[in-house]
Amino acid sequence: MIKRLFDTFCSLIGLFILAPFLLIISIAIKLDSPGHVFHRGLRIGKNEKPFRIYKFRTMIKDAEKLGPTSTAEDDPRITKIGRFIRKYKLDELPQLINVLKGEMSFVGPRPQVPWAVKLYTQEEKALLSVRPGITDYASIAFPNEEEILRGSKDPDKDYMEKINPEKVRLGLQYVKNHSLWIDIKIILKTIKILFKR
């Protein structure tokens, strides 16, 4: 209950404060390339309930039809403004809407695409017992996920082999031992990493 109140209050405040900034990013995206401002990809949330995650669009129109789900740093589908937005994780800001709607939390295992969730073991399905988050232990451990996939001929395969196992382990660690204090520490560490970038 306290976590949900924290998420609701902070997402409302965040959207209010960031509104002018979000508008500027939206205009920049529209001027840079044709297509919608937001990308609403399908993700699996708490209790295996599917939802649409809000992100600023950083790729060309219909990019999901032209390549893999995982994105390498040198992916040719990324737009000019999209590259800048992704570098500083600004594409994640619209997920404040998902938090406000109760589909996500500020902190929790990152939501996965349906095909990846289908590969979960019985133990890994515990990740779906909590709301997915904007950030978590894995976000701190892999701030350079796209750099790891740079030059990959099969980003989805390399993601599942090089990144996903550790992300799952860290996600399960969070599920087994989480609290509002831990959430606050993760948020502060995430902010610190973003400022370093």
- Measured distance CA(39)–CA(136) in Å, rounded: 21
CA angle centred on 50, ends 88 and 66, rounded to 5°: 60
> What pLDDT is recorded for position 143?
87
**Domain boundary assignment for the chain:** 2-196
> What pLDDT is recorded for position 15?
96
Average pLDDT over residues 15-37: 95
pTM score, whole prediction: 0.91
Average pLDDT over residues 109-117: 95
Q: Which of 5, 25, 17 is nearest to 79 (CA)?
A: 25
> What pLDDT is recorded for position 197?
67
Model confidence at 10: pLDDT above 80 = yes
